[in-house]
Structure 1
Amino acid sequence: MAADKAIHDYDVVIVGAGISGINFAYRIQEQCPNLSYCILEGRHEIGGTWSLFKYPGIRSDSDLYTFGFSWRPWEEQSSIADGSRIINYMKESAAMYGIDKKIDYNHYVDHANYSSTSKKWSIDVTANGNEQKKYRCKFFLLCTGYYDYHEPLKSPIPGIENFKGTVAHPQFWDTEMDYDNKNVVIVGSGATAITLLPNLTPRANHVTILQRSPSYVLSQPKEDKLEKLIRACTWWSKPLEHKLIRWKWLLVPFLVSQFSYKFPLRARKIVSDVIQKQLPPSVSRDPHFNPSYNPFEQRVCFCPDGDFYQALREGKGSIETGVVDTVTADTIKLVNGKELHPDIIVTATGLKLRFAGGISVSVDGENYNFADKFIWKGQMLEDLPNAAFVVGYVDASWTLGADATAQLICRMMNQMRKENVVEVIPRRTEEEKKYMTEEPLLKLQSTYVKKGKSALPKAGNSGQWRARSFYYKDIMMAWFGDIKTGTEWNKMLV
């Protein structure tokens, strides 16, 4: 009995105090008030991605009206926000509902084992770097994101080890780094590169994006005309204003992405024309802004109020499309014969995918390999009892997917209590195991997704094993849909 006193017992343990973990905690308090819970956070503060990344200009690449919580509206008159404002919003939201009192910081989860005898999870934690702790719970929630916090993606750049200047990676940015009046080359073409260029140009001498292949970059006003109209017409009711603006951001991006999927060539033409109008005469759309794929086949990059294009027009920023031949002590030589002469190279080449934060998981002592398993409804894992994970969308805010998961799992836990069920396990039928075709969890063709595919579980092509589709469908499923097909519901044997 003395040993049991050292075990921290809860109904639910959430891993991760980022946007997903905070949202899950709120939904548990709201919909399952009878359940006890805690959040284990490996870092020193709330925030997840927004606590880790410190590079200049770090900001949301989704609108805050849907990236923010539905239960605590984003009140600023700007759809895009920088990292510090997002962290403050998350901290204020957590404090408002007492969620911050449920977080154990600097608690890194090493291993979690499910016992089919006790129907509970046993979780081994390293606290504050050296203290070993044990937690126990009935339901285990992984809100750990999808990438490795400790190691960035290492994309091969021939000869990079020869470079005598500074090499920086956005994931571990040195906030003391001096780039005043320096020539900076950013290797990469994703959202991070698009963010960095206009935020480095005010101090740097010149900033160049070097991309192997181009991306779509669209300007997004911090406040558009429709939002201004909604605010003018709802001056008498802040709640109505918040609701209408949120629904605008739910509906418009959905319609745009669906149009792009159904009419890809037409969407490509429209987007290309929009980009062309923003480019200075010195920058050609082809090849620099003429991707080989159609809009939304990979994630579209957005820049607030066109700051990226403004930097190009001012001449402080530029873009090169080509393949690196080699890097020397002070030069990047391209296969096409061009040379760049940077003082600083920023390797914005993507993230290293990592599922469940690298936690080692087992069932009855036997190792559980995530990559071998299929997902159930995009939120539970095949053969893994009483556990859920959060993954968002590639064409909408991450938080929307997180909230759909939270509401479905809360509904499931309430139903378990009503039916005296102690264990829910997703299972494929023998027929599904025989005929189901594998599909990717993240429907993106980005290099970092392709490289990290082996680290992620799989989606199927049928039934409850399909990947996420879109928010409206998923939230309806969470509220009213079937939560039993494809799962075993087991009661405690007396």
Structure 2
Amino acid sequence: MLATPPDFDVLIVGAGISGIGMAAHLEMMCPNRSYGIVERRADIGGTWDLFKYPGIRSDSDMHTLGFVFEPWKHEKSIADGPAILDYLNRIADERGIRDHIRFGHKVVLADFRPDEARWHVTVELEDGERKLLTANFLYLGSGYYDYDDPYDAGFDFSEFEGQVIHPQFWPEDLDYTGKKVVVVGSGATAVTIVPSMAEKAAHVTMLQRTPTWMFSRPARDAIANFLRKILPEKVAYAITRFKNIRMQDFTFKTARDKPQKVKDALHKRISKTMGNDFDLKDFTPPYNPWEQRLCLVPDDDLFESIKAKKASVVTGHIDKFEAGGVRLKSGELLEANIIVTATGLSLAIAGKIDLRMAGEPVKFDERFYYKGVMFSNLPNLAVVFGYLNASWTLRADINSEFVCRVLNQMEANGSDLATPVLTPEAEAQLEEDDLFDFSSGYIQRGKHIMPKSATAYPWRLNQEYLYDRKVMRKGDILDGVLTFTKAGANAQSPDEQLEAAE
């Protein structure tokens, strides 16, 4: 072991929802642990600081996208980007987290040295200079997609005479007043952009290859706002959070067990706004609800834009992009001055960091998830990959709390290595599961880089929050799999290492 301590007990990568949440949990549960946050951007917020497209908002209610420890106080439970940033900034300031953040620090390499029980982390500053930071434990709150390169659908825009915009890199000075806009895509981003741009544009067309299941709900949660008037803030928030978590779980399971029932309910909501004579073909996907994530339409904004003739939805295949717009294979021309390519994200594992152990590259696709937070035979590393069928922060909260419990166990038994041990013999007995039982394009495109998931706990990334919460918050840390050892001992097994080091 080195005589000098590491720069940090815990180094958090990313100052978005996941990173801020982990820092808050460390403050509450591990006050004696030192920590730092490295953030490549100039401010906190992650996705909510990066995306600047019109109407940017949550596609989950803020009583579950908000943290378990910090009530959401705004009237709208479906919040816009600035309100979410305000929430995160307030937490960072009130809890003293901002003082721990180093902005303009991009992590390019992280090498774990088992003999030292510390990560050697190389960060690149904005001027190109590189620095080395060390930490005992590394927590990756770096998100799930490529911040630099969105998905390229391979379109040829050489003949198009207008502007082409990708939502991930929205120009702040874009003036689309009175312009004809075609938004290519039908996911959450497109469903957000279309009604927002329709307020000023001449017309906005959402061009989709395949329809998406959509559900409408009020942006304000009447029950939540009522409870806030009659109950203490934290109590009202806890009740609303419990209600919404249960509703999410019930809806997802019903969609899987009785898909036709959910289809009928979703169509009924659209017809209530658009009228019973409205053709639902553009809102009827060829797959069942929750085989891909449902798209939220708060306050019926998309449907109201269509009713007002300010927006339309077209289902078809692109033939080519011409000078004046998009030519479909049906022969129809969709006129456009601006084309927005809301065609999706590219998945990225571990923030594209070059992760190594003792100098050897870590191949995540050869390792199994451990309880959706750590990885087989990889010490002192945790990540957040949120739920596909619920709010991201639900996973971030329980992962943060679990890691804090692990850190406290390490302190209690004097260990400096925490490793989910999976022997070759045990791995041979595992039955591998489909990591993501979702047909979404970005999920399918990125599967080859993702870690493995087994059919049974603990070697899986589960998609059932209520079960995960029970296991992660109440389950025994000393489960016979997560092994606590000391570094520097010459021994074959983790148990022998700890015994020899003591």
- TM-score bin, normalised by smaller chain: over 0.9
In 1, the alpha carbon distance for the partners of 2:431 and 2:321 equals: 43
> Which residue pairs with 1:167 in the alignment?
164
Match of residue 139 from structure 1: 137
Partner SS state of residue 330, structure 2: coil
Determine the structure 1 residue equivalent to 2:236.
Answer: 241
Following the alignment from structure 1 to structure 2, what is the Cα–Cα distance between the partners of residues 225 and 92?
A: 24
25-34 or 129-138, which moves further after superposition?
129-138
Paired residue type of 1:47: G
- 1:379-402 per-residue CA deviation (whole Å, 9 max, x = no partner) reads 111221110001111121100100
Please state how far the C-alpha of 1:228 moved relative to its aligned partner. 4.5
Structure 2: how far apart are the matches of 1:175 and 1:8?
Answer: 41
Counterpart position of 2:272:
277
- Residue 205 (structure 1) aligned with residue 199 (structure 2): no
Per the alignment, do residues 231 and 141 of structure 1 end up closer, same or farther by CA in structure 2, a change over 3 Å counting?
closer
| SS, match of residue 138 in structure 1 | strand
In the alignment, structure 1 residue 331 sits paired with structure 2 residue 325 = yes
Amino acid at match of 1:138: N
Distance verdict in 2 for CA 1:40–1:69, change over 3 Å: same
Write the letter of the residue equivalent to 2:267. Answer: S
One-letter code aligned to 1:473: Y
Judge conservation of contact 2:164–2:340 (CA < 8 Å) in 1.
yes
Q: Distance in 2 between matches of 1:46 and 1:231?
A: 28
Q: Distance in 1 between matches of 2:149 and 2:449?
A: 14
Alpha-carbon separation, structure 1, partners of 2:338 and 2:295? 24
Give yes or no for the alignment of 1:353 onto 2:353: no
Shift of 1:360: 0.2
Aligned: 1:195 with 2:192: yes
Q: How far 1:70 sits from its partner (Å)?
A: 1.8
SS at match of 1:23: helix
Partner of 1:254: 249
| Inter-partner Cα distance in structure 2 for 1:316 and 1:127 | 45
CA distance in 1, matches of 2:296, 2:265: 16
Q: CA RMSD in A?
A: 1.9
* Aligned pairs (5 A) from 1:64-143: 64-143=62-141
List per-residue Cα deviations over 1:278-327 (Å, max 9, x = no partner). Answer: 235785211x0111111111111112211111001100000100111112
Identify the residue that residue 11 of structure 1 maps to in structure 2. Answer: 9
Q: Distance in 1 between matches of 2:276 and 2:54?
A: 28
Whichever residue aligns with residue 172 of structure 1, its letter is F
What residue number does 1:469 align with? 463
* CA deviation string 1:316-359 (max 9, x = no partner): 00010011111222231212222211111100001011111110
- Residue 493 of structure 2 corresponds to none
What is the rounded CA distance, in whole Å, between the counterparts of 1:313 and 1:296 in structure 2?
26
1:176 maps to what in 2? 173
Q: Partners in 1 of 2:486 and 2:372 — Cα distance?
A: 24
Aligned with 1:425: secondary structure?
A: strand
Q: How much has 1:69 moved relative to structure 2? A: 1.6
* Letter in structure 1 aligned against 2:188: A
Instruction: Give the aligned residue type for 2:130.
Output: Q
TM-score by length of 1: 0.94
- Tell me the alpha carbon deviations over residues 387-429 of structure 1, each in whole angstroms, 9 at most, x when there is no partner: 0001111121100100110111111111111122221222323
Task: Confirm or deny: 8 A CA contact 1:279 1:285 kept in the other structure.
Answer: no
Where does residue 262 of structure 2 map in the other structure?
A: 267
Separation in 1 of the partners of 2:346 and 2:38? 22
Q: 2:446 aligns with which of 445, 452, 465?
A: 452
Q: Counterpart of 1:161 in 2: which secondary structure?
A: coil
- SS of 1:135's equivalent? strand
Q: Does residue 93 of structure 2 align to residue 57 of structure 1?
A: no
Q: CA deviation at 1:49?
A: 0.1
| Correspondence for 2:492 | none
Aligned to 1:34: 32
Give ranges in structure 1 of 5+ residues lacking alignment: none
Aligned partners of 2:460 and 2:354: how far apart in 1? 25
Identity between Structure 1 and Structure 2 (%):
38
Q: What are the superposed Cα offsets for residues 114-171 of structure 1, whole Å, 9 maximum, x if unpaired? A: 11111111101112332221111111100000001111110123x3332121110000
2: distance between equivalents of 1:297 and 1:68? 25
Structure 1: distance between partners of 2:206 and 2:406: 47
Q: Secondary structure at the match of 2:416?
A: strand
**Partner residue, 1:380:** 374
Task: Classify 1:154/1:485 alpha carbon distance in 2 versus 1 (closer, same or farther; 3 Å).
Answer: farther
Mapped contact 1:428–1:486 kept (Cα < 8 A): yes
- Superposition deviation, residue 25 in structure 1: 0.5
1:410 and 2:407 are equivalent in the alignment: no
In 1, are the aligned partners of 2:120 and 2:135 still within 8 Å (CA)? Answer: yes
Query: Aligned equivalents of 2:108 and 2:253: distance in 1?
Result: 41
State the match for 1:304 in structure 2.
Answer: 298
The one-letter code sitting in structure 2 at the alignment partner of 1:134 is: L
2:76–2:221 Cα contact (<8 Å) kept = no
Instruction: Tell me, yes or no, if the aligned pair for 1:185 and 1:207 is still in contact at 8 Å.
Output: yes
Aligned-residue offset at 1:267: 1.6
Q: Deviations over 1:222-249 (max 9, x none)?
A: 2244335434543xx3332222222222
The 8 Å contact of residues 8 and 134 in structure 1, kept in 2 or not, is answered as: no
Q: What letter corresponds to residue 261 of structure 1 in structure 2? A: R
Q: Distance in 2 between matches of 1:440 and 1:40?
A: 33
- The answer to whether the 8 Å contact 2:224/2:237 transfers is no
Rounded Cα–Cα distance in structure 2 between residues aligned with 1:343 and 1:169: 14
Tell me the distance in 1 between the aligned counterparts of 2:431 and 2:162.
Answer: 48
Contact 1:424 1:489 survives alignment (8 Å): yes
For 2:166, give the aligned amino acid.
Answer: H
Work out the CA distance in 2 between the residues paired with 1:269 and 1:57: 28
Q: 1: distance between equivalents of 2:468 and 2:358? A: 32
Q: For the Cα contact (< 8 Å) 1:162–1:328, is it kept in 2? A: yes
